[in-house]
């Protein structure tokens, strides 16, 4: 994993100015790649590519980037890992390709030379990369199916810039940093900024599962190489199971294969281990893979000792069962306060989550690891959230109310002032939103409800942001073609919460400590297997996932109710920033995060988003 950046000039050579700008962009991403920096400028001065290296596969200088294809002159910068690169390389070598390194980066170059964008469905991994096509004078950008790796773009009509971080683009200067209404409204709506928006009008994300090709003249073409709804709506297996036993074996094989691929590295790989089912299953499967002793890491919080939220005892029990080299890192208020500034600086876009990942990644990084596995994605793929029950029930029970939208709005307007004093304001919107899948998901996942936003931001700003977001329409579009209710919730959770919050937070929080986090449960072949089994009527939940290790998980893990991976942020902020706690749940934390992250943005010398009317 690394950090990438680049500049494409449409009208004239950039010259020394581009070199200076690219240097600032790549320097801002130094923690993403402490093992080296590379810069490349095209002979005519129209294209510049930059790279920060975290060496994980082929640690030699031969794996450094930017990397050029001597046959075509194409040049690549790549962030991520291609887990099946060895299989792909073997096929390329059979077809006559010759390699100068042992890296997955060079495999991408050779594959693109032969297949162009059609290679993307063949890649198993997490990635964001750019390839300059020398012969055709155009830039190709692509991002992985789930959006595990970020990629941001900034265009002004004269140049296109891209980078792995928003703050890297801001460090380059000269961008439109006026507030993006959709980004700010989206943040308060969800607790994260939904892609493709950011907080800035001049910066957007390349959507997950898509590619973009840009010529020197500015002409663009784009495409989608992965569509989640299609994968969930029309799954197919070469050999469908004929019995529950065969279904279990098929699932176990898919999980083991994913873990095996995610362990591919030329450095040791660790595991984030909580007391939950997902990380315990991963630790077990990683230990079974037989690639040497697995190192595992757990966070402990003294505020949680003796409560159901204490992860430590069960995590240590799992570590003993599977023989991992385990370390528990205790984190207290003093650690939080000491690191809060660095955490906010690392937070590339504001989020109400990510604190937990920041500290466990810090522990792994300080222990000398460069790679760790996370159980992220298990709840989305194996139906672990309460929403898998609640959202279909809401949409079914309240469907008649959806036929009379005026009635729902009227009830909400009358009830919200009273309900909001004693209960979650969401209860006031049950009739207005609950009768449709999109509205039910909004009720389940939103931080603030739409009618509350004008109390936080300028009403005109909110109206523009809500119109640009098209939230309900976008949520509905996520479900196009998806059949079973179980898979509809998977589509919603994977496309919204997992992509925009969990995966993005994991990226910035881990890269702040030069740690690559891999997510074996967020894997296309595994998703296809699960979807096919669901369509065939076989049970595919946490129980089936937990049954895949050959040595059973401890009974206490299997019987433990879901609690989530929580951090006592509220307790830690009680003294330092009591104003952040004046709102229900995480709402005060959200306001605090937005204000504080903007202070760090201002330190970059960019225009602050200070005209949004934040109350």
* Distance set, CA 55 to CA 25, 150, 507, 516 (Å): 20, 19, 16, 10
Query: How wide is the angle at C-alpha 224 spanned by C-alphas 223 and 226, nearest 5°?
Result: 160
What's the whole-number mean pLDDT along residues 544-566? 86
Structure tokens at 229: 């709804």
Residue 446 reports pLDDT greater than 90: yes
- Strands (DSSP E) contained in 472-583 are 516-518
β-sheet with 138-143: strand ranges across: 67-68, 75-82, 125-133, 138-143, 210-215, 220-224
Beta bridge partners of 215: 138
Q: Which of 351, 340, 379, 362 is nearest to 505 (CA)?
A: 351
**For residues 272-285, average pLDDT:** 94
Q: How confident is the model at residue 564 (pLDDT cuts 50, 70, 90)?
A: low
Helices 471-478 & 437-445 angle (0-180, nearest 10): 110
Mean pLDDT of the chain: 90
Per-residue pLDDT at 424: 77
pLDDT band, very low/low/confident/very high, at 571 (cuts 50, 70, 90): confident
Positive or negative, the Cα torsion across 94, 98, 101, 105? negative
Reply yes or no on whether the pLDDT at 570 is more than 70. no
Confidence of residue 572 (pLDDT cuts 50, 70, 90): confident
204, containing H or E segment: strand 204-205
pLDDT tens, residue by residue, 158-183: 999 999 999 999 999 989 999 999 99
- 13: tokens are 């050579």
Q: What is the pLDDT of residues 449-462, one digit of tens each?
A: 999 999 889 999 99
Q: Please name which of 260, 261, 254, 253 lies closest in space to residue 83, comparing C-alpha atoms.
A: 261
Number of Cβ within 10 Å of residue 431's Cβ equals 21
pLDDT single digits (tens) 94-118: 999 999 999 999 999 999 999 999 9
Does 193 have pLDDT greater than 70?
yes
Phi-psi region of 607 (alpha: psi -120 to 50; beta: other; left: phi over 0): beta
pLDDT confidence of 606, banded at 50, 70, 90? low
Q: 3-class secondary structure for 88-149?
A: HHHHHHHCCCCCCCCCHHHHHHHHHHHHHHHHHHHCCEEEEEEEEECCCCEEEEEECCCCCC
| 386-404 pLDDT tens trace | 999 999 999 998 888 777 7
What is the CATH architecture of 234-377+504-571? 3-Layer(aba) Sandwich (3.40)
Answer for the pair 274, 565: CB distance below 8 angstroms, yes or no. Answer: yes
CA distance 591 to 595: 6
Distances (CA, A) of 412 to 88, 419, 421: 56, 9, 14
Tokens 């390194």 belong to 101
Burial class (CB in 10 A: 0-12, 13-18, 19+), 338: exposed
Asked whether residue 1 carries a pLDDT value surpassing 70, the answer given is no
User: 486 vs 307, 439, 523, 545, CA distance in Å?
Assistant: 31, 17, 18, 16
- Please check whether residue 473 is in contact with residue 464, taking contact to mean a CB–CB distance below 8 angstroms: no
Note whether 432 and 411 are within 8 A (CB): yes
Is pLDDT at 90 greater than 90 in this prediction? yes
**Residue range 493-515: mean pLDDT, rounded:** 97
Interhelix angle 244-262/524-535, rounded to 10 degrees, is 170
Predicted confidence (pLDDT) per residue in 350-376, tens digit: 999 888 899 999 999 999 999 999 999
pLDDT cut 90: percent of the chain above it? 72
**pLDDT (tens digit per residue) in 141-157:** 999 999 999 999 999 98
Instruction: Report which DSSP code applies to 315.
Output: H
pLDDT at 84 over 80: yes
CA distances (Å), origin 171, targets 167, 518, 604: 6, 27, 6
Determine the average pLDDT of the residues in 494-509. 97
The answer on pLDDT for 535 being more than 50 is yes
Does the pLDDT of residue 32 top 90, yes or no?
Answer: yes
Q: Reading across the β-sheet that carries 371-373, which strands appear in turn?
A: 325-330, 295-300, 269-272, 371-373, 516-518
Task: List the beta bridge partners of residue 76.
Answer: 67, 131
Instruction: Give residue-wise pLDDT tens across range 223-249.
Output: 999 999 999 997 778 788 989 999 999
State pTM to two decimals: 0.93
Q: What is the pLDDT of residue 332?
A: 86
In whole angstroms, what is the distance from residue 142 CA to residue 124 CA? 14
* Spatial separation of the C-alpha atoms in residues 277 and 275, rounded to whole Å: 7
Among the listed residues 520, 524, 564, 594, the one whose alpha carbon sits nearest the alpha carbon of residue 230:
524
- Could you tell me if 273 and 318 are in contact, meaning their C-beta atoms sit under 8 angstroms apart? yes
d(CA 595, CA 475): 28
Give pLDDT, residue 102.
Answer: 95
Given a contact cutoff of 8 angstroms between Cβ atoms, the answer to whether 609 and 461 are in contact is: no
**pLDDT recorded at residue 221:** 96
How is residue 269 written in tokens?
């790989």
Q: Write the DSSP string, 564-584.
A: -S---HHHHHHHH-GGGGSSS
Q: What's the CATH fold of domain 3-226? A: 3.60.20
- Beta-carbon contacts of residue 235 (< 8 Å; ≥ 6 apart): 528, 531, 532, 534, 535
pLDDT at position 301 over 60? yes
Instruction: Decide if 142 contacts 129 (C-beta within 8 A).
Output: yes
Phi/psi of residue 94, each to 5°? -65, -30
Does residue 6 have a pLDDT over 60? yes
- Residue 610's pLDDT band (boundaries 50, 70, 90)? very low
Other C-beta atoms closer than 10 Å to the C-beta of 61 total: 9
CA-to-CA dists, residue 310 to 285, 299, 301, 306, 327, angstroms: 24, 9, 7, 7, 15
Residue 585 has pLDDT above 70, yes or no: no
pLDDT of residue 613: 46
Neighbours of 20 (CB within 10 A): 13
Residue 422: pLDDT band (50, 70, 90) is low
> CA 512, CA 31: separation in Å to the nearest integer?
6
Number of helices and strands (H, E) in the chain? 26, 17
Two structure tokens written together for 140? 């190709």
Which one is predicted more confidently, 328 or 290? 328
Q: What is the pLDDT of residue 237?
A: 81
pLDDT of residue 502 exceeding 60: yes
């Amino acid at each position: 994993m690394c950090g990438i950046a680049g500049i494409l000039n449409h009208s004239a050579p950039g010259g020394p100015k581009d070199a200076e700008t690219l240097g600032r962009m790549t320097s801002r991403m130094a923690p993403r790649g402490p093992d080296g920096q590379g810069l490349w400028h095209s002979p005519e001065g129209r294209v510049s590519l930059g790279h920060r290296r975290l060496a994980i596969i082929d640690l030699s200088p031969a794996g450094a980037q930017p990397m050029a294809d001597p046959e075509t002159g194409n040049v690549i910068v790549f962030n991520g890992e291609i887990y099946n690169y060895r299989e792909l390389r073997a096929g390329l070598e059979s077809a006559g390709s010759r390699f100068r390194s042992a890296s997955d980066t060079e495999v991408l170059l050779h594959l693109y030379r032969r297949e162009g964008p059609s290679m993307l469905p063949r890649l198993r991994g997490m990635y964001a990369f750019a390839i300059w096509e020398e012969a055709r004078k155009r830039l190709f950008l692509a991002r992985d199916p789930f959006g595990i790796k970020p990629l941001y773009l900034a265009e002004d009509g004269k140049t296109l810039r891209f980078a792995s971080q928003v703050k890297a683009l801001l460090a380059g200067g000269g961008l439109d940093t006026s507030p993006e209404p959709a980004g700010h409204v989206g943040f308060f709506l969800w607790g994260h900024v939904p892609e493709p928006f950011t907080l800035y009008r001049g910066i957007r994300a390349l959507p997950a599962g898509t590619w973009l090709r840009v010529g020197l003249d500015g002409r663009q073409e784009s495409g989608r190489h992965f569509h989640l709804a299609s994968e969930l709506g029309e799954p197919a297996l070469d050999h469908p199971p004929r019995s529950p036993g065969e279904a279990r074996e098929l699932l176990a094989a898919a999980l083991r294969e994913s873990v095996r691929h995610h362990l591919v590295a030329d450095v040791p790989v660790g595991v984030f281990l909580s007391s939950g089912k997902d990380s315990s299953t991963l630790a077990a499967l990683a230990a079974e893979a037989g690639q040497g002793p697995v190192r595992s890491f757990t966070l402990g919080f003294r505020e949680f000792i003796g409560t159901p939220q204490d992860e430590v005892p069960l995590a240590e029990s799992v570590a003993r069962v599977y023989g991992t080299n385990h370390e528990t890192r205790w984190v207290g208020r003093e650690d939080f306060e000491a690191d809060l500034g660095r955490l906010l600086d690392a937070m590339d876009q504001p989020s109400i989550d990510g604190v937990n990942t920041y500290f466990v990644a810090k522990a792994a990084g300080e222990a000398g690891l460069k790679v760790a596995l996370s159980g992220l994605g298990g709840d989305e793929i194996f139906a672990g959230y309460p929403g898998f029950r609640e959202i279909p029930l809401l949409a079914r029970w309240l469907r008649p109310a959806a036929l009379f939208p005026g009635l729902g709005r009227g009830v909400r307007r009358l009830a919200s002032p009273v309900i909001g004093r004693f209960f979650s304001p969401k209860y006031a919107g049950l009739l207005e939103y609950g009768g449709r899948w999109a509205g039910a998901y909004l009720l389940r996942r939103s931080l603030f409800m739409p009618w509350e936003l004008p109390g936080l931001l300028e009403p005109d700003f909110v109206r523009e942001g809500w119109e640009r977001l098209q939230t309900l329409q976008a949520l509905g579009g996520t479900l196009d073609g998806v059949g079973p209710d179980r898979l509809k919730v998977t589509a919603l959770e994977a496309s919204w919460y997992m992509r925009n919050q969990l995966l993005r937070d994991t990226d910035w929080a881990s890269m702040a400590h030069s740690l690559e986090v891999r997510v074996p449960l967020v894997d296309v072949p595994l998703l296809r297997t699960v979807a096919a089994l669901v369509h065939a009527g076989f049970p595919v939940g946490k129980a089936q996932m937990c049954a895949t290790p050959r040595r059973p998980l401890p009974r206490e893990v299997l019987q433990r109710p879901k609690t989530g991976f929580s951090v006592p942020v509220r307790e830690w902020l009680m003294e330092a920033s009591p104003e952040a706690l004046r709102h229900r749940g995480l709402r005060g934390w959200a306001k605090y995060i937005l204000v504080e992250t903007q202070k760090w943005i201002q330190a970059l010398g960019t225009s602050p988003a200070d005209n949004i009317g934040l109350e």
